[in-house]
Amino acid sequence: MVQGTGSNVGKSTLVAGLCRAFVRRGLSVRPFKPQNMSNNAAVTADGGEIGRAQAVQARAARVPASVHMNPVLLKPETDTGAQVIVHGRRIGTLRARDFGSRKGELLPAVLDSFARVADGADLVLVEGAGSPAEINLRAGDIANMGFAEAADVPVVLAGDIDRGGVIASLVGTHAVLEPAERARIAAFLVNKFRGDPRLFDGGVRAVAERTGWPCLGVVPWFPAAAFLPAEDALDLDRAAAGRGKLRIAVPVIARIANFDDLDPLGMEAGVELVFVRPGEALPGNADLVILPGSKSTVGDLAFLRAQGWDVDLLAHRRRGGRILGLCGGYQMLGRTIADPDGIEGPAGTVAGLGLLQVDTVLGGDKITGPAAGIHLSTGAEITGYEIHLGRTDGPDRARPVLRLDDGREDGAASADGQVAGCYVHGLFASDAFRRAFLDGFGAASGLAYEARVEEALDALADHVEAHLDLDRMLAIARER
């Protein structure tokens, strides 16, 4: 199990690299994360939801993603509450304090999934969440030491040197853990080093002397991680490296979800992808504004208005600019959003942006599953996935955006073609569609997206092979 001294120390990326490195050695490898918290979800072949990181790790291990690779997924809807997904299915919404008191009840489901993932595997690489040093959360823990103890797995602790204080974070973790938990940590590693790793030799010795843990290595910064789907919204800007002729603006709403939809666009040399932060105006010279997915459509619509982005969108359209809404962004573009059951807050109906003649009613069963079909205006094939609550209908649905292979039509477009939206995520990962879409703006596509992701995973495997003692790590796993 790879645990970290904190969030965003690189656990997800390390596990992905280790999955690919060990599978290239001929081992049957599976990723596992007992509990994840992310609004960037992936959909498995059977329609279940898991964290995006576990889907990437499964790809790195060259196996299909399974709901059992991430049995508990928390999708924050507010600062104090989250939707709870167990074995891929929504079981409800809990306030943080309520989940804290009930999370131990989910341990049997977590251990059942772990047994299923481990069955037939040579190696299971488990990713922790946050930090085991958060001892205020230790009671009923299923994410870090609580799981490691229940499943009896050894732990490797990762520290992030890029944020500073890595010696204190590693030694401090040792200081606050119980003796049995300290003993469960078999080794440590240091991640995200910039420069010559040998310059940290003294730091390695300092940590080893104070903890008794051996070091598996110091891993340098890995720039190509930007080509892998991100799980944390903190990583959004890494996808915005292009400086091409087509300028696409994306307002960063509070509960932005499934934002890896945008990754392929950010990798295109002909595209400048601009993430607009709260307090900033939408750029007046944007060609296209994309409203991304949201975990809380009604709340994020209010957030969008509070930034003045609704006014900016109207001005953008008057200038002839185009607007595309994805999932929650699609719902916001309509006339109204009704929440009769109070799924996202107080029951009621709110006015949408009115840029599409459609209305949305939240409720019913959550729709999740793979999707494939045709983009109607270009004829390009698309693949992706659905993950949403609610139904959308109205006059502009007479101009659908997609025709899916199961016969359904998805999305809506305005009569002038400037505004459109749909529910399917992952559209831009399809090279043929992305090429046709960008051609409509006079921008060329030179990216083979899936090949780029595979290249990044192989390069990541080379990277961890070069800088970590994988033989020792494998020996640690074999001890139990």
Q: What angle do CA 253, 254, 259 make, to 5 degrees?
A: 60
- Identify whether 19 is a catalytic site residue: no
* Residue indicated by tokens 């790879």: 2
Annotation: CATH topology of 245-442: Rossmann fold (3.40.50)
- pLDDT tops 90 at residue 133: yes
Tokens of 76: 């924050």
Active site residue 422: no
Q: Are 104 and 66 a contacting pair, CB within 8 Å?
A: no
Q: Do the beta carbons of residue 88 and residue 116 sit within 8 Å?
A: no
Equal fold, 2-226+455-478 vs 245-442: yes
The residue whose two tokens read 């939206």 is 421
> What are the tens digits of pLDDT across the range 11-31?
999 999 999 999 999 999 999
Identify whether the C-beta of residue 382 lies closer than 8 Å to the C-beta of residue 400.
no
Please identify which of the residues 19, 215, 327, 422 carries the catalytic annotation. Answer: 327
Q: List the domain boundaries for the chain.
A: 2-226+455-478, 245-442
E strand spans, 426-480: none
Residues with Cβ within 8 Å of 342's Cβ and at least 6 positions away in sequence, in order, are none
Q: Would you place residue 99 in the very low, low, confident or very high pLDDT band (cuts 50, 70, 90)? A: confident
> Using CA atoms, how far apart are residues 4 and 13, in angstroms rounded to an integer?
12
Q: How far is CA 244 from CA 117, 228, 240, 437, in A?
A: 43, 21, 11, 15
φ/ψ of 302, rounded to 5, equals -65, -40
Q: What is the pLDDT of residues 253-312, one digit of tens each?
A: 999 999 999 999 999 999 999 999 999 999 999 999 999 999 899 999 999 999 999 999
**359 has a pLDDT exceeding 80:** yes
Fold of 2-226+455-478: Rossmann fold (3.40.50)
Of the listed 87, 316, 425, 463, which one is catalytic? Answer: 425
The answer on pLDDT for 6 being more than 80 is yes
Q: How many Å apart are CA 236 and CA 423, to the nearest integer?
A: 21
Least confident range from 13-22, 96-105, 318-327: namely 96-105
Is 0.85 topped by the overall pTM?
Answer: yes
> How does strand 185-193 pair with strand 81-86?
unpaired
> In sequence order, which residues have a C-beta less than 8 Å from that of residue 332 and are 6 or more positions away?
291, 294, 297, 300, 301, 304, 325, 352, 353
